């Protein structure tokens, strides 16, 4: 999970964090702090799908999964675990 | 000869990515030893898979339309219709390829070019589409545009992709489109976004009520108190999130996954009466405020507000690099800039 958190932080810092006055904590809301907007969320989804090879369903694109670095990292970890379990079952 | 303004964006004085057209002034950009930017490198693997993904999305749209067509009480789709080239072409696609019952909605921001209104009439008549225009009072729009012209009130990430003025206007368009779809039980809301405006993953997407709610809240909070109350009435009311949670439409922007060729699009549209306007800037075919919005953004942030979108299109191969450079690095027309500045009394 630490590796995922690091990759997500790097992606957000490179692509969205241009306001030097914002210090982003891992629990901070990306939408409320204005770091990410609606199009940014979609870019984040594209990055996650491409990087981790997972499919994010429309109904999973909710603030609970994608609104902080910690939530995103936890969500990806769970999706990857699920993917591994599904593969093992098949 | 066109009158021109100063060139804060002159490519001869700027280092540009040799693959796309992003400039050295674009925030956080890095160039490698070959002169290729980090955004181009980041997109390489996704671009390699793009043709298969586009085919997949065309099938996905076919399936979605088959599942909703003819089932809603009045319309199958609402189209956010500016009268510009891309939304006109999307409307044509929805009518001619899919034979959908479409309601076209135009947000009149008081800067829609008269040619765009002529085009709206010609295209909706030719395609047999019902059309409504939404026109908020000029004092409110003037106040909003004056605020957004003077200050970058939105987040830095938002301003990478659009000017402050455009962002305010598009917020109206998105909210009104969603609100009308919800109120009229229209299952699809369509946009004419170009292939560079948003990732393909969002090209067919069920609108997510909780995400819209949080986004809307963040956007309203960005506005000064003086316009917040007035603006709020144009956004989706809180009660809708519970009362109509099953009516939130699926957003589609088909140009992200259909073949996109600006010249061919213009030729096809001319066949149904659309005419290219001569009084808009290089990045708009409907709005007389755009040149001023671009100029203000360029002066303040030192990069063009359309460069992210056009760079994406160049990277995807749907626009030649030279054409992208011309669109982004040509100076703004000073007559158009002055027209908007005077109208806004700035």
Of A18, A32, A56, the CB nearest to B28: A18
Chain A nearest CA to B115, separation (Å): 30
Mean pLDDT, chain B, as a whole number?
91
pLDDT of the residue at A23: 73
pLDDT-derived band at B2 (thresholds 50, 70, 90) equals very low
Q: Domain ranges in chain B? A: 15-343
> Across the interface, do A63 and B211 touch by the CB < 8 Å criterion?
yes
Q: What is the mean pLDDT of residues B263-270?
A: 95
Could you tell me where the beta strands, DSSP code E, fall in B148-277?
Answer: 188-190, 204-206, 250-252
Residue B3 scores a pLDDT above 60: no
Go through the domains of chain A in sequence order and give each one's CATH number. Answer: 2-9+28-89 (1.10.1200.10)
pLDDT digits (tens, 9 = 90+) for A19-38: 666 678 889 888 877 788 77
ipTM of the predicted assembly exceeds 0.90: no
Nearest to B201 among A35, A45, A63 (CB): A45
Report which secondary-structure segment, H or E, holds B194. none
**Over 80: is that where the pLDDT of B4 sits?**
no
Q: Which residue of A has its CA nearest to B171?
A: A38
Q: Do A18 and B210 touch (CB under 8 A)?
A: no
* Per-residue pLDDT tens digits for B102-146: 999 999 999 999 999 999 999 999 999 999 999 999 999 999 999
Rounded CA separation B203/B172 (Å): 20
Pick the CATH number of B15-343 from 2.40.10.120, 3.40.50.620, 3.20.20.70, 1.20.1730.10: 3.40.50.620
Q: Which two tokens stand for residue B282?
A: 């290089």
DSSP string covering B41-96: HHHHHHHHTHHHHHHHHHHHHHHHHHHHTTTSSS-SEEEE--SSHHHHHHHHHHHH
Give the integer Cα–Cα distance in Å for B304 and B101. Answer: 37
Does the pLDDT value for residue B1 go beyond 70?
A: no
Instruction: Give chain B's contact residues with A (Cβ, < 8 Å).
Output: 27-28, 38, 45-46, 154-158, 160-161, 197-202, 205-206, 208, 210-212, 214-215, 217-219, 222
Q: What is the pTM of this model?
A: 0.89
pLDDT tens-digit series, residues B35-45: 999 999 988 98
Angstroms from B215 CA to nearest CA on chain A: 6
In this structure, of A49-53, B310-314, B324-328, the range with the lowest mean pLDDT score is A49-53
> Under DSSP, is residue B168 helix (H, G, I), strand (E, B) or coil?
helix
A19 CB neighbours in chain B (<8 A) are: 155-156
Q: Are B248 and B300 in contact (CB under 8 A)?
A: no
Q: Tokens standing for B337?
A: 């800039």
Contacts of A67 in chain B (CB under 8 A): 214
Residues of A with CB under 8 A from a CB of B: 14-19, 31-32, 34-43, 45-46, 49-50, 56, 58-59, 61-64, 67
Check residue A62 and give its pLDDT: 85
| Residues B283, B334 contacting (CB under 8 angstroms) | no
Question: What is the pLDDT confidence band of residue B174, given thresholds at 50, 70 and 90?
Answer: very high
Determine the pLDDT at residue B103: 98
Task: Quote the minimal CA–CA distance from B158 to chain A in Å.
Answer: 6
Q: Which residues are within 8 A (CB) of B288 and not within 5 positions of it... i.e. 6 or more apart? A: B111, B112, B113, B279, B280, B336, B339, B340
Least confident of B4-8, B85-89, B290-294, B322-326: B4-8
């Amino acid at each position: 999970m630490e590796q995922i958190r690091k990759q997500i932080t790097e992606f957000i810092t490179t692509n969205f964090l241009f306001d030097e006055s914002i210090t982003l904590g891992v629990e901070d809301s990306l939408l409320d702090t204005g770091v990410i907007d609606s199009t940014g969320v979609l870019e984040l989804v594209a990055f996650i799908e491409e990087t981790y090879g997972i499919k994010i369903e429309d109904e999973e694109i909710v603030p609970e999964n994608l609104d902080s670095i910690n939530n995103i990292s936890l969500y990806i970890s769970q999706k990857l675990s699920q993917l591994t379990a599904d593969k093992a079952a098949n | 000869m066109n009158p021109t303004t100063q060139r804060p964006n002159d490519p001869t004085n700027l280092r540009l990515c040799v693959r796309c057209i992003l400039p050295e002034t674009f925030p956080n950009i890095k160039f490698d030893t070959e002169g290729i930017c980090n955004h181009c490198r980041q997109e390489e693997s996704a671009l390699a898979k793009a043709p298969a993904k586009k085919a997949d999305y065309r099938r996905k749209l076919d399936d979605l339309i088959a599942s909703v067509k003819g089932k809603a009480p009045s319309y199958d789709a609402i189209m956010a219709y500016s009268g510009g080239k891309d939304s006109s072409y999307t409307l044509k696609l929805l009518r001619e390829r899919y034979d959908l019952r479409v309601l076209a909605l135009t947000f009149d921001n008081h800067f829609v070019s008269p040619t765009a209104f002529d085009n709206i009439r010609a295209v909706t008549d030719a395609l047999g589409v019902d059309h409504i225009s939404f026109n908020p009072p000029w004092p409110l729009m003037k106040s909003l545009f004056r605020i957004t012209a003077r200050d970058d009130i939105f987040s830095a990430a938002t301003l990478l992709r659009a000017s402050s003025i455009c962002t305010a206007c598009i917020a109206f368009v998105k909210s009104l489109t969603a609100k009308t779809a919800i109120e009229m039980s229209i299952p699809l809301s369509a946009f004419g976004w170009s292939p560079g405006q948003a990732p393909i993953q969002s090209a067919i997407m069920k609108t997510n009520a909780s995400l819209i709610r949080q986004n809307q809240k963040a956007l309203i909070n960005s506005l000064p108190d003086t316009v917040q109350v007035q603006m709020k009435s144009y956004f989706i009311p809180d009660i809708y999130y519970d009362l109509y949670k099953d009516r939130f439409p699926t957003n589609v922007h088909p140009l992200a996954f259909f073949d996109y060729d600006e010249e061919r699009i213009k030729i096809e549209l001319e066949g149904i009466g659309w005419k290219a306007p001569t009084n808009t800037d290089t990045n708009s075919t409907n709005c007389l405020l755009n040149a001023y919005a671009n100029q203000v953004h360029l002066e303040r942030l030192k990069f063009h507000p359309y460069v992210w979108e056009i760079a994406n299109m160049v990277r995807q191969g749907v626009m030649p690099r030279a054409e992208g450079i011309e669109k982004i690095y040509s100076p703004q027309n000073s007559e158009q800039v002055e027209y908007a500045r005077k109208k806004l009394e700035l």
